[in-house]
Amino acid sequence: MSDLKDKDTRVKVLIALLSVYFIWGSTYLAIRIALEGFPPFIMAAIPFLTTGLGLYIVLRIRGVPAGDLFYLMAFGR
Protein backbone atom coordinates (compact mmCIF):
# COMPACT_ATOMS: atom_id res chain seq x y z
CA MET A 1 0.00 0.00 0.00
CA SER A 2 2.81 2.44 0.79
CA ASP A 3 4.40 1.83 -2.63
CA LEU A 4 1.22 3.01 -4.33
CA LYS A 5 1.04 6.10 -2.12
CA ASP A 6 4.69 6.96 -2.83
CA LYS A 7 4.09 6.55 -6.56
CA ASP A 8 0.99 8.78 -6.45
CA THR A 9 2.90 11.43 -4.50
CA ARG A 10 5.75 11.38 -7.00
CA VAL A 11 3.34 11.78 -9.90
CA LYS A 12 1.58 14.68 -8.17
CA VAL A 13 4.90 16.40 -7.46
CA LEU A 14 6.00 15.91 -11.07
CA ILE A 15 2.73 17.37 -12.38
CA ALA A 16 3.03 20.33 -10.01
CA LEU A 17 6.61 21.06 -11.07
CA LEU A 18 5.78 20.74 -14.77
CA SER A 19 2.82 23.10 -14.42
CA VAL A 20 4.98 25.68 -12.59
CA TYR A 21 7.60 25.34 -15.34
CA PHE A 22 4.99 25.82 -18.06
CA ILE A 23 3.17 28.75 -16.41
CA TRP A 24 6.40 30.54 -15.46
CA GLY A 25 7.88 30.09 -18.93
CA SER A 26 4.71 31.21 -20.70
CA THR A 27 4.69 34.37 -18.59
CA TYR A 28 8.10 35.40 -19.88
CA LEU A 29 7.04 34.60 -23.44
CA ALA A 30 3.89 36.69 -23.05
CA ILE A 31 5.92 39.62 -21.69
CA ARG A 32 8.33 39.39 -24.61
CA ILE A 33 5.52 39.39 -27.16
CA ALA A 34 3.53 42.11 -25.40
CA LEU A 35 6.45 44.53 -25.11
CA GLU A 36 6.69 44.58 -28.89
CA GLY A 37 3.21 46.09 -29.10
CA PHE A 38 2.75 48.08 -25.88
CA PRO A 39 4.93 50.45 -23.85
CA PRO A 40 6.27 49.02 -20.56
CA PHE A 41 4.11 51.22 -18.30
CA ILE A 42 0.93 50.13 -20.08
CA MET A 43 2.02 46.51 -19.66
CA ALA A 44 2.58 47.10 -15.95
CA ALA A 45 -0.88 48.68 -15.60
CA ILE A 46 -2.85 45.96 -17.41
CA PRO A 47 -2.71 43.33 -14.60
CA PHE A 48 -3.85 45.88 -12.02
CA LEU A 49 -6.71 47.09 -14.21
CA THR A 50 -7.94 43.58 -15.00
CA THR A 51 -7.72 42.53 -11.35
CA GLY A 52 -9.54 45.66 -10.21
CA LEU A 53 -12.26 45.13 -12.79
CA GLY A 54 -12.64 41.51 -11.71
CA LEU A 55 -12.93 42.48 -8.04
CA TYR A 56 -15.44 45.19 -8.92
CA ILE A 57 -17.61 42.66 -10.77
CA VAL A 58 -17.41 40.17 -7.88
CA LEU A 59 -18.40 42.83 -5.34
CA ARG A 60 -21.28 44.02 -7.52
CA ILE A 61 -22.53 40.42 -7.79
CA ARG A 62 -22.31 40.13 -4.00
CA GLY A 63 -24.56 43.18 -3.68
CA VAL A 64 -22.21 46.00 -2.72
CA PRO A 65 -23.68 49.28 -4.05
CA ALA A 66 -21.67 51.04 -6.75
CA GLY A 67 -21.47 54.28 -4.74
CA ASP A 68 -19.69 52.50 -1.90
CA LEU A 69 -17.22 50.98 -4.34
CA PHE A 70 -16.35 54.31 -5.91
CA TYR A 71 -15.85 55.79 -2.44
CA LEU A 72 -13.53 52.89 -1.55
CA MET A 73 -11.54 53.32 -4.77
CA ALA A 74 -11.12 57.04 -4.17
CA PHE A 75 -10.43 57.12 -0.43
CA GLY A 76 -9.58 53.55 0.54
CA ARG A 77 -11.80 53.39 3.63
Asked if 50 and 75 sit in the same domain, the reply is: yes
Please, how many CA atoms are within 13 Å of residue 12, restricted to the half-sphere of its CB?
Answer: 6
Helix 40-61 vs helix 66-75: crossing angle, to nearest 10: 140
Asked if 24 and 44 sit in the same domain, the reply is: no
The one-letter amino acid at 74: A
Asked if 47 and 26 sit in the same domain, the reply is: no
Residue 64: closest CA among 73, 76, 56: 56
How many domains in the chain?
Answer: 2
3-state secondary structure of 1: coil
- How far, in Å, CA of 65 to CA of 5, rounded? 50
Q: Flag whether the pTM goes above 0.85.
A: no
User: 62: domain range?
Assistant: 39-77
| 18-67 pLDDT per residue, tens | 999 998 888 888 888 888 888 888 888 888 888 888 888 888 899 878 77
Asked if 62 and 46 sit in the same domain, the reply is: yes
